Amino acid sequence: MTSPSRGFSRRDMLKAAGLVGLGSTVLPSLSACGVGGGERHPNGASEITGSFDWKKLSGQTVRILQTPHPYQQSFQPLLKEFTELTGIQVVADLVPEGSYFTKLNTELAGGSGSHDVFMVGAYFIWQYGPPGWMEDLKPWIANSAATSDEYDFEDIYEGLRTSTSWDFTPGSPLGTGGQWAIPWGFENNVVAYNKAYFDAKGIKPAEDWGNFQQLARDLTDRNEGRYGVAFRGSKSWATIHPGFITQYSRMGCKDYEVKDGRLVAGMASEQAIEFQKAWVDLAREAGPASWTTYEYPDCTRDLGNGNAMMCYDADSATYPKNKPGASKEAGNLAWYAGPAGPDGSYATNLWTWSLAMNAASKNKLAAWLFIQWATGKEAMSKAVGTAFADPTRKSVFDSTFKQTLGAFPGYLDAFEKVVGSSKIQFTPQTQFFQTTQDWSVALQDIYGGDDAASRLRDYAASAEAKVNV
């Protein structure tokens, strides 16, 4: 058991008794801290001195907030190795994906340090960073008393390192400012397809956007329960960031451009409107029938069940479906980079689950030791052996991970084709979640019959207003 139950103690009773004084005692303390995370916490790296030692905090406990994920699952059995190495107990709380950010956002906003380490994606840094909820890890990496000599931060792909670093100035590129999280696992958004079916029909994956659309339509036969391509469509920012923004970028479209210190929305450019209209039409004619509810588990499930012939989403999300016994089509799947842009662009959006440290943590060294261990070469190599894809370290990718990819045709080719141009394709800005969810709403409205051009113009205007506060 990873979670020693605290249960119900006499201490709890005392705490409850304290409630009686709630009105008188809490009110003043709340007006000090009444609006959650108003408190700024100083960086803790400078406090760590002396020589590096894994065992420094033996006997302590580190609490981690995670969401169930292949990354997390492949690390689960390894946690005891961390405890062996450091003597630190790990309490890992899991919150399902649908509620993960509800939990995490409340916790950070509440200024609570109840979890020392949490899983985040790059975009979250843009929201959690400015209020000071995340610890800058740069000083920690630099401090030889806190970081092992073997850590080798530069081994992590550069695109990933920069994607989790920013100076919080809207429009300023990624890679500036602090290192707010360490990339742990990542994924490129490429196309997975049902190779068995393709082979049987003698079909080859489409290499450009026009052919891709045509192929998807041709593959669709609703009576057979078969359709061309699965991609996300639910009302969420997460609909935008995988296949959509990847292809959008390959088509040469931009979300924002910086002009005179202002972000100028690009979603309503002629080129962008044309692409988005085509994307929604594709969803309608060759996508899942209930597109507006589709999240990635739905997409990958349809791929695994043989309903969807292709799936334009994260490679690491489609990857588990091909493992023996995991799905009906396991063993039949293959990958390729997806359609290139008109200029041959393989611009690709990446997602990285990274580990971040809670700035309000009362146990920062333990937190850092955990992050260091989890993103280190040894642990990552071991995790790759189960279901961990894709590792963020080049050394791990090249050695251990490549060997596991024999049964995953095209996976490596696709990876290598896009990895050079794989980065966060969004312009960093603090209103990311709101403006990007609004984007998905706009696409849903177009799917529901709204005129694409006017709807996107409305959207672009409102987004521009929001990001330039």
According to CB under 8 A, which residues from 47 to 86 bind other proteins?
A: 63, 66-73, 76-77
Q: Is 386 in the site for other proteins (CB under 8 A)?
A: no
222 near other proteins, judged by CB under 8 A? yes
Out of 98, 202, 261, 344, point to the residue binding other proteins (CB under 8 A). 98
Residue placing its CB nearer to other proteins in the complex, 327 or 363: 327
As given in the structure block, the two tokens for residue 372 are 């260091």
- With residues binned 3-state (H G I as helix, E B as strand, rest as coil), the percentages for the chain, rounded to 5, are 50, 15, 35
Q: Is 1 in the site for other proteins (CB under 8 A)?
A: yes
**Among 290, 345, 403, 454, which residue sits at the site for other proteins (rule: CB under 8 A)?**
290
Q: How far is CA 108 from CA 26, 169, 235, 315, 355, in A?
A: 20, 21, 24, 30, 15
User: In this structure, what are the phi and psi dihedrals at residue 208, rounded to the nearest 5 degrees?
Assistant: -125, 165
Candidates 5, 24, 49, 51; binder of other proteins (CB under 8 A) is 5
Of 464, 463, 458, 461, which is closest to residue 437 (Cα–Cα)? 463
- Residues 281-294: b if buried by 16+ CB within 10 A, e if exposed: bbbeebbbeebbeb
CA distance 307 to 289: 11
Q: Which is nearer to other proteins, 212 or 353 (CB)?
A: 353
| Candidate residues 46, 58, 99, 176; the one interacting with other proteins per rule CB under 8 A | 99
Task: CB nearer to other proteins: give 147 or 302.
Answer: 302
Pick from 137, 206, 268, 317: which binds other proteins (CB under 8 A)?
317
Q: How far is the CB of 273 from other proteins (least distance, A)?
A: 18
Total residues binding other proteins (CB under 8 A): 107
Asked if 285 touches other proteins (CB under 8 A), the answer is: no
According to CB under 8 A, which one of 121, 242, 243, 288 is a site residue for other proteins? 288
24 binds other proteins (CB under 8 A): no
Return the C-alpha torsion angle 178, 183, 189, 194, nearest 10.
Answer: 180
Q: Count CB neighbours of 312 within 10 A.
A: 28
Nearer Cβ to other proteins (2/46): 2
Pick the closer one to other proteins by CB: 42 or 225: 225
Nearer to other proteins, 347 or 367 (CB): 367
DSSP string across 413-462 = HHHHHHHTTEE--SPP-TTHHHHHHHHHHHHHHHHTT--HHHHHHHHHHH
Identify the residue among 18, 342, 385, 420 touching other proteins (CB under 8 A): 18
Looking at the DSSP bridge assignments, the partners of residue 355 are: 119, 182
How many Cβ atoms are within 10 Å of 27's Cβ, its own excluded? 10
Q: Which of 57, 264, 330, 412 is close enough to bind other proteins by CB under 8 A?
A: 330
Quickly tell me which residue has 């177009």 as its tokens.
446
How far, in whole angstroms, is CA 380 from its chain's centroid?
Answer: 17
- Among candidate residues 239, 273, 253, the one with its CA nearest the CA of residue 433: 239
Q: Could you give the CA distance from residue 154 to residue 327 in angstroms, rounded to a whole number?
A: 37
Restricted to residues 419-458, the positions that interact with other proteins (CB under 8 A) are 430-431, 433-434, 437, 440-441, 444-445, 447-450
Q: Which CB atom, from 16 or from 149, has the smaller least distance to other proteins?
A: 16
Question: Rg of the chain over CA atoms, in angstroms?
Answer: 23
Comparison of 234 and 395: residue with beta carbon closer to other proteins: 234
Task: Indicate the residue among 151 and 401 with the shorter CB distance to other proteins.
Answer: 401
Q: Are 253 and 357 in contact (CB under 8 A)?
A: no
Q: Is 211 in the site for other proteins (CB under 8 A)?
A: no
Which sign, positive or negative, has the C-alpha torsion 435, 358, 96, 394?
A: positive
Residue number with CB closer to other proteins (283 or 347)? 283
Least distance in Å: CB of 49 to other proteins? 30
Could you tell me where the beta strands, DSSP code E, fall in 244-303? Answer: 256-259, 262-265
| One of 62, 92, 125, 146 touching other proteins (CB under 8 A) | 92
Return the range that interacts with other proteins (CB under 8 A); candidates 20-28, 134-142, 171-179, 271-279.
Answer: 20-28
Q: Tell me if 382 contacts other proteins by CB under 8 A.
A: no
**115-154: which residues touch other proteins (CB under 8 A)?**
115, 127-128, 130-132
Distance CA 175, CA 312 (A): 27
Q: Kindly state whether residue 89 participates in binding other proteins, applying the rule CB under 8 A.
A: no
Say how many C-beta atoms besides its own lie within 10 A of residue 25's C-beta.
12
287 near other proteins, rule: CB under 8 A: no
State the minimum distance, in angstroms, from the CB of residue 394 to other proteins.
22
Smallest separation, CB 459 to other proteins (Å) = 11
